[in-house]
Amino acid sequence: MTMLHPETAEAALDDEILTCLGPDGVLHRETTVGGDLFVMYRDMVLSRRVDTEAIALQRQGELGLWPSMLGQEGAQVGAGRALRPRDIAFPTYREHAVAWCRGVDPVQLLGLFRGTTLGGWNPRENNFNLYTLVIGAQTLHAVGYAMGIVRDGDVGTGDPDRDRAVLVFLGDGALSEGETNEAFVWAAAQNLPVVFFCQNNQWAISAPYSVQSRVSVAQRAQGFGFRGVRVDGNDVVASHAATVDALDRARAGGGPTLIEAITYRRNPHTTSDDDGRYRDAGLTEHWSALDPIARLRTHLESSGVAPDFFAEVAAEEQLLAERIRSGCRALPEPDPATPFLHTLATMPAELELQLAAHLAFVATGEATAS
């Protein structure tokens, strides 16, 4: 097991961009917080394979859509492995590697994008909330949850089996949403145990971060009165160190932190997007050279890790890929009435009519005149 050694990284968290494991695979800065590099390597490789298989399945017509996370595995695994079991994570729709770290079955993730489920998993089982496609909405859900933690008295007790925190993920584009700013206001005003983890992957579909703000993501926290830190999001060690530190503070009653993990979305926004229309392929090449998995592999190899370890992960990857492909095709067909049944507690007459028309359409392929 490779553990990181004492020598603090925390001093660097406030101003500069925290980098521990550089693109050259050299550990330039060590941290006190530990983190098993074997586990995080495996997490990144296997969750990337989930992503690759999902894209292929979408291309084969098995999924309606897929938002790829290629290039963001370092940020996500570093953050995901910083969570303790009692903490809860609120994702967007791109946190496939965090879902992996929380133990969500990847086939369940696919169900949402195959249209066979409205959610996919039980958030209580893994303390991993459902994916949220409404940009920024999950920040308020997270803040509301953090208020509940405070009211339950599960913060600042010093009991590691009791204190909890919330880790909420957001994209750079979400910072322009009113809800996110409201969430920041509440988190600051009530000193809530919440960590906002923003993957600044540079793009909100076709809008670059530069058209949204004149200051960095992390600086925006200061205006609300809480701490903002910047990390190299392609450095799983730095991402992990910053998130462990922020969650520790939150659980101890130290209030919120905004982490800006600087990374890059190397694939189009989703499988429905053509990023060639708005950005230069050279940028993607640049970021490919900063790949989070390659740098950790270089580090492990140069530390003398035997080839057997990489072979084992590769074999596991093959089995996972096969399981994902067969599992996706075996997902149960959804009941077409489900969305109607779960919209309102009591279905009004108009919705009953719409349901009947929808069921007739599904059965016959013919739309009925309204």
Applying CB under 6 A, the residues found at the interface with ligand TPP are 92, 94, 133-135, 171-174, 201, 203-205, 265, 269
Which among 49, 96, 220, 269 is annotated as catalytic?
269
Q: How far is the CB of 275 from ligand TPP (least distance, A)?
A: 11
CB closer to ligand TPP, 112 vs 174: 174
Q: How far is the CB of 206 from ligand TPP (least distance, A)?
A: 9
Which among 86, 278, 325, 358 is annotated as catalytic?
278
Which residues, 6 or more positions from 283, have their beta carbon under 8 angstroms from its beta carbon? 264
Q: How far is the CB of 6 from ligand TPP (least distance, A)?
A: 35
Q: How far is the CB of 196 from ligand TPP (least distance, A)?
A: 12
CB closer to ligand TPP, 100 vs 203: 203
Contact (CB, 8 A) for 222 and 14: no
Contact (CB, 8 A) for 165 and 156: no
Spatial distance between the Cα atoms of 80 and 22, rounded to a whole number of angstroms: 20
Q: How far is the CB of 270 from ligand TPP (least distance, A)?
A: 8
Considering only CA atoms, which of 58, 69, 253 is closest in space to residue 150? 253
CB closer to ligand TPP, 272 vs 303: 272
Considering only CA atoms, which of 107, 129, 37 is closest in space to residue 74? 37
CB-closest chain residue to ligand TPP: 171
CB closer to ligand TPP, 29 vs 269: 269
Contact (CB, 8 A) for 287 and 264: yes
Considering only CA atoms, which of 247, 256, 227 is closest in space to residue 147? 256
- How far out from the chain centre does Cα 173 lie? 14
Spatial distance between the Cα atoms of 134 and 337, rounded to a whole number of angstroms: 23
Q: How far is the CB of 304 from ligand TPP (least distance, A)?
A: 37
The dihedral over CA atoms of 289, 291, 295, 296, expressed in degrees to the nearest 10, equals: -170
Active site residue 265: yes
Please give the helix or strand (H or E) that residue 230 lies within, else none. strand 227-232
Spatial distance between the Cα atoms of 283 and 158, rounded to a whole number of angstroms: 46
Spatial distance between the Cα atoms of 128 and 140, rounded to a whole number of angstroms: 15
Active site residue 278: yes
CB closer to ligand TPP, 121 vs 197: 197
CB closer to ligand TPP, 245 vs 275: 275
3-state secondary structure 136-200: CHHHHHHHHHHHHHHHCCCCCCCCCCCCCCEEEEEEHHHHHCHHHHHHHHHHHHCCCCEEEEEEE
Which among 49, 94, 265, 266 is annotated as catalytic?
265
Catalytic residue numbers? 265, 269, 278
